[in-house]
Amino acid sequence: MSRLDHRRRLMLDRHVLATGVVAATACVLSAGLVYVGYLVHVVRTARRAPVDPAHGHTVLVFGKHAPHGRADDDFAARLARAATVWHSRRPRRMVLLGGAAPGHPAEAEVAHAALLDQGVAPDAPLHLETASRDTLQNLRNARTLLADLAHEGHVTLLSSRYHLARCALFARQLGFQWELCAAEPALRLTPTTVVRLAGEAAYVCWVDLGTRFARVIRHERMLARVT
């Protein structure tokens, strides 16, 4: 399905809608303070994330929508950082994440071609995950792939700074040992980045509060969506 169809399908899911009501209610009853707390967390995560991972043995590189196989500036920054990490420490494996609609190159394939162009050897241990369409699916499929590879230990989550809080939330819920690696050298608060940080805060608030609510009421089907 297309990217828009995928998002529409998620938004119309009754469990997603229920958790959205829970998160919105918490924000309204707190006069917005709950949302502000998540915004602070997202910005702090974006600001503090390192560019040189402490472990770096298994690097998960998050894709980004690349219409017609063209990476935008954010995606290009992720790939440039991945190439830098590869040349500086030679990870045991690097997993490139992201699919696409039928008939279009997968995000992981776009990433693979770009890394080869940036000097990563053709026989490098690059593993492509081409079936996922969002961050949660990225990590779920990566978990399955790494289990098949008998992986143990930390994974390095490499993405744009504004995206890292979401990556960390899902990694924690899926049981990863993780560390962060930012694509950009530092957080620059441009108007576009501010909007993205605000959106990420709303998303992280929604998922985190919804997950907590599902655990309180012991709703297994809700929990199955995010764990």
pTM: 0.91
Query: How do residues 87-132 score in pLDDT, each as one tens digit?
Result: 998 999 999 999 988 888 999 999 999 999 999 999 999 999 999 9
Beta strands in the chain (DSSP E): 58-61, 93-97, 126-129, 154-159, 177-182
pLDDT score of 7: 58
Q: How far apart (Å, rounded) are the C-alpha atoms in residues 41 and 198?
A: 11
The amino acid at residue 49 is A
Q: How far apart (Å, rounded) are the C-alpha atoms in residues 85 and 124?
A: 13
User: Would the pLDDT of 4 be above 70?
Assistant: no
Residues 6 or more apart from 197 whose CB is under 8 A from it? 39, 42, 43, 46, 162
Q: How far apart (Å, rounded) are the C-alpha atoms in residues 137 and 140?
A: 5
